[in-house]
């Protein structure tokens, strides 16, 4: 295996921000840039210099930060046709951004030259050369993005190569082959990248999109063919269905292909945390099934799989999850066997013999609960509470006396108002608390927390991040049994709980109680460790 170093060029803040529903504030962009630098990427593309004031604000703010590893790049296009570079507004904006690196894109495909730019092939070549030379004369490192290179090469190989020659001869520091429409196959990317690497002394990079779900495969194929620079975004967010996913490219390069692309190999352990941080800043819920960094990436459900992992982890895991900052998860469902229960108990810190009667009892109880409609794959906290109950280690933190929920609507033009009253006892002291909310479950949640916070202040840290309802027997119409799944978080840890009942509010109450009790279990374990 080669130890060739690959420069990682992150364009989350520019190409990633073009994803539907994503909009980073200038402050969020600074925070992401700092995390990317800490992780160790070589380049951070901050935005389109001539595009909008927010991107220019980022370039102004980032100059106040001291980055350890990454160079900041401003993105822009080649000069407009029939416009001298010193008079071009786009190139002027690149200089105004005042970054050490400027990335300019130009046209490689004659279709774009004649139909989109509506200029001549000769003028397009001059636009490329003039723009690169102009930026080099101003002391910039210039990365040339050859837009639509692969489509352009298929259409007219000689012209596509001549656009690269124009950039290289003008002093471009890197020629990046862009698979802009995302439709090429890995063997095509490999073949054309190899041809460019052979033809030029200038370093070659690749920029791929995921329209054919081959963004990562195409990037790796290009690198294997000789590219030394790869562009992409964290979590693959970007235009249309997304860009090449650096969260997958980077671990594949280091762990599977033997390349180096981070200043320290141990930085790879930050990958999951970085992925989660970018999702949070983008206001996107993390994709559980995302390779390497997703919650399900190392989750095991089938009994035989779990038994295999228990004996030899690599029997069902392609890497050690800790290498990318992730962890193994054992799922509990109707497919569970003794191994699942045993490993889940170990996760919980319980001492349990795999062949003990307790394990069989937990399995029996699990089967019964799932017959009633409970589902624990997404309700890990409720399952842990179930185990504690079977093992007689469950501690009830409060006793419910009653709750009441009311919904009121006054007039057809008004909205509904929900209110709840909860009465409960902690030890010998009983309290009553009110709560209101957007809906009955929200009101009940507020009332429960209001009643408990006096006794358990940590409850104030818990918030509901997701609530979902599943009708289990729709043929029963309004009398159908309902399953409620709730996801809760205290800002550091996230957990799921479940409740089942013919009454939606009662099912929600069950899940709410488990959510609160699980947080109190965590606090109790924390105190015991201290």
> pLDDT tens, 170-206?
999 999 999 999 999 999 999 999 999 999 999 999 9
Do 44 and 8 contact (CB within 8 A), yes or no?
no
User: Residues near 88 by Cβ (< 8 Å), separated by ≥ 6?
Assistant: 79, 80, 131
Q: Where in the chain is the domain with CATH 3.30.160.270?
A: 399-529
Please name the residues in contact with 182: beta carbons below 8 A apart, sequence gap of 6 or more: 208, 209, 210, 211, 212, 214, 215, 240, 241
Rounded-to-integer distance, Cα 448 and Cα 69, Å: 49
State the fold for domain 7-282: TIM Barrel (3.20.20)
User: Out of 89-93, 286-290, 362-366, which region has the weakest mean confidence (pLDDT)?
Assistant: 362-366
Measuring CA to CA, how many Å separate 347 from each of 295, 350, 504? Answer: 15, 8, 31
pLDDT score recorded for residue 377: 67
Q: Is the model's pTM score more than 0.75?
A: no
pLDDT at residue 337 is higher than 60: no
Contact (CB, 8 A) for 336 and 360: no
7's enclosing H/E stretch is: strand 7-10
Rounded mean pLDDT, 92-97: 96
Chain centre to alpha carbon of residue 295 = 10
225-244 mean pLDDT? 97
Lowest mean pLDDT among 179-183, 222-226, 264-268, 346-350: 346-350
Per-residue pLDDT at 373:
80
- Which pLDDT belongs to residue 347? 63
User: What mean pLDDT comes out for the span 62-76?
Assistant: 96
Determine the 3-state secondary structure of 416 from DSSP.
strand
Helix (H, G, I), strand (E, B) or coil at 205: strand
Write a three-state SS string for 82-116.
CCCHHHCHHHHHHHHHCCCEEEEEEECCHHHHHHH
Q: What are phi and psi of 453, to 5 degrees?
A: -60, -30
Query: Would you place residue 349 in the very low, low, confident or very high pLDDT band (cuts 50, 70, 90)?
Result: low
432 phi and psi angles, rounded to 5 deg: -130, 140
Looking at residue 375, what is its pLDDT? 75
3-state SS assignment for residue 240:
coil
- 362 band by pLDDT with thresholds 50, 70 and 90: confident
pLDDT band at residue 247 using 50, 70 and 90 as cut-offs = very high
For residues 308, 309, 312 and 313, what is the CA-based torsion angle, rounded to 10 degrees?
Answer: 150
Query: E strands along 209-338, which residues?
Result: 229-232, 299-300, 329-330
3-state secondary structure of 58: helix
Given this structure, which CATH class describes domain 399-529?
alpha beta
Could you give the residue range(s) of every CATH 3.20.20.70 domain in the chain? 7-282
Per-residue model confidence (pLDDT) at position 1:
42
pLDDT value for 26: 82
């Amino acid at each position: 295996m080669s130890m060739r170093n690959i420069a990682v060029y992150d364009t989350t803040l520019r190409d990633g921000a073009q994803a539907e529903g994503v909009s980073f504030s200038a402050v969020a962009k600074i925070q992401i840039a700092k995390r990317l630098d800490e992780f160790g990427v070589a380049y951070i593309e901050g935005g389109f210099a001539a595009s909008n004031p927010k991107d220019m604000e980022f370039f102004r703010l980032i100059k106040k930060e001291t980055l350890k590893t990454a160079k900041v790049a401003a993105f822009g296009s080649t000069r407009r046709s029939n416009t001298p570079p010193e008079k071009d507004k786009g190139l002027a904006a690149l200089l105004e951004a005042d970054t050490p690196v400027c990335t300019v894109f130009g046209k490689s495909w004659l279709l774009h030259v004649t139909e989109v730019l509506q200029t001549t092939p000769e003028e397009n070549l001059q636009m490329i050369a003039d723009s690169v030379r102009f930026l080099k004369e101003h002391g910039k490192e210039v990365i040339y993005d050859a837009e639509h290179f692969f489509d352009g090469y298929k259409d007219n190989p000689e012209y596509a190569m001549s656009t690269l020659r124009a950039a290289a001869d003008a002093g471009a520091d890197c020629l990046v082959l862009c698979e802009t429409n995302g439709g090429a196959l890995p063997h095509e990317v490999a073949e054309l990248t190899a041809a460019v690497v052979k033809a030029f002394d200038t370093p070659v990079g690749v920029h791929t999109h995921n329209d054919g779900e081959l963004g990562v495969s195409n990037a790796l194929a290009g690198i294997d063919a000789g590219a030394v620079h790869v562009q992409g975004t964290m979590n693959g967010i970007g235009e249309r269905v997304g860009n090449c996913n650096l969260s997958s490219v980077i671990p594949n390069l280091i762990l599977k292909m033997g390349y180096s692309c981070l200043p320290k190999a141990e930085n790879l352990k930050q990958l999951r945390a970085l992925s989660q941080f970018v999702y949070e800043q983008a206001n996107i819920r993390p994709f559980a099934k995302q390779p390497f960094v997703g919650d399900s990436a190392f989750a095991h459900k089938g009994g035989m799989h779990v038994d295999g992992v228990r004996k030899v982890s690599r029997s069902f895991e392609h890497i050690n999850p800790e290498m990318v900052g992730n962890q193994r998860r054992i799922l509990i469902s109707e497919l569970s066997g003794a191994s699942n229960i045993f490993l889940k108990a170990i996760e919980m810190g319980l001492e349990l013999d795999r062949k003990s009667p307790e394990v069989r009892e937990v399995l029996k109880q699990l089967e019964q609960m799932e017959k009633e409609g409970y589902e624990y794959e997404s309700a890990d906290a409720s399952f842990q509470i179930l185990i504690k109950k079977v093992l007689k280690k469950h501690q009830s933190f409060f006793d419910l006396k009653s709750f009441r929920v009311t919904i009121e609507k006054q007039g057809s033009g008004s909205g509904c108002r929900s209110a709840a009253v909860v009465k409960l006892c902690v030890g010998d002291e009983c309290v009553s608390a009110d709560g209101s909310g957007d809906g009955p479950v929200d009101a009940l949640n507020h009332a429960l927390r209001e009643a408990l916070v006096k006794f358990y202040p940590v409850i104030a840290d818990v918030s509901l991040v997701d609530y979902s309802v599943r009708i289990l027997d729709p043929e029963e119409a309004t009398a159908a049994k309902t399953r409620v799944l709730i996801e809760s978080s205290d800002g550091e840890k996230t957990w799921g709980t479940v409740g089942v009942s013919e009454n939606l509010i009662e099912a929600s109450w069950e899940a709410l109680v488990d959510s609160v009790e699980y947080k109190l279990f965590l606090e109790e374990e924390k105190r015991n460790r201290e």
